[in-house]
Amino acid sequence: MVVRADKPDLGGGLQYHIRVRPGDVARYVLLPGDPGRVPLIAGFWDEARLIASHREYTTYTGTYRGTPISATSTGIGSPSTAIAVEELLRVGADTFIRVGTTGGIQRCVEVGDLVISSAAVRLEGTSSQYVRVEYPAAASYEVVLALIEAAESLGLRYHVGVTASTDSFYLGQGRPGYRGYKQSWAEKLIPDLQAAGVLNFEMESSALFTLASIYGARAGSICAAVANRVTNEMKPDAGLRDAIRAANEAVRILSEWDEAKEKNGKKYFYPSLIAR
């Protein structure tokens, strides 16, 4: 087998990093960061099977309430997320929902709440290698709406707004580094973002949204707030199961809407489409 350096396909469409091929994943893919969360997500499905596990990328495929669904872990941060999205697109996925954890920077985002990102501040470096920094990192309105519908139907507490995605968990999110290392800009970061109405920090959404927009795919993000930087509270995994439940349910909702679009010959979803 000859593998080309510019197009590292391992043969038969097998992707170099995530080790899946066409037919292995559904069009709808949930994207947790932690590989250990993939079987947790799949535990809510009707049925699930392990497809591949390589490096930080673990993939399961199955069905949720009759809808084909997959989940692939991305590891931490935008560089590995971009690799996952690139290779998932190559095997037929077109709709992505990040599901993970986050830290709130507004007092109203209580520990255990969910944050549905409508857009993201591009404080990571990966997306700038795809397009100029002025290009917006916006979530798909259909995915945002499906996540809201899911959270409402499940009776969950949630917020919708702008997220900040960073490359650094420490200084990049206004925390001191090793031995208290600081920079003046990092000390001003949270107050500046709070003034602009940004809800939370995480590390993947802006790259996900940017790549999805460039490639004509759909993407959204729902994260559980496990920390609040205003109150200085932190509870690891608080609300995570709720975020998973909402993400799974959003896939079912999107599938219904996609069927309605196809039935009516429409490219875009709008509410009255399902009220006909």
The superfamily (CATH) of domain 28-262 is Nucleoside phosphorylase domain (3.40.50.1580)
From the list 116, 99, 142, the residue with the least C-alpha distance to 245 is 99
The pLDDT tens digits of the residues spanning 153-193 come to 999 999 999 999 999 999 999 999 999 999 999 999 999 99
Nearest to 93, CA basis, from 44, 20, 161: 20
What's the pLDDT at 9?
85
Phi-psi region at 98: left, alpha or beta (left = phi > 0; alpha = psi -120 to 50): beta
Tens-place pLDDT, residues 83-98: 999 999 999 999 999 9
**Catalytic positions, please?**
17, 87, 175, 229
Residue count of the chain: 276
Find the distance separating the first CA and the last CA of the chain, reported in whole Å.
54
- The per-residue pLDDT for 276 is 67
Amino acid at 58: T
Q: Where are the domains of the chain?
A: 28-262
d(CA 169, CA 198) in angstroms, rounded, equals 17
pLDDT digits (tens, 9 = 90+) for 4-40: 888 888 999 999 999 999 999 999 999 999 999 999 9
Nearest of 240, 98, 100, 76 to residue 169 by alpha carbon: 76
Write the pLDDT tens digit of every residue in 106-154: 999 999 999 999 999 999 999 999 999 999 999 999 999 999 999 999 9
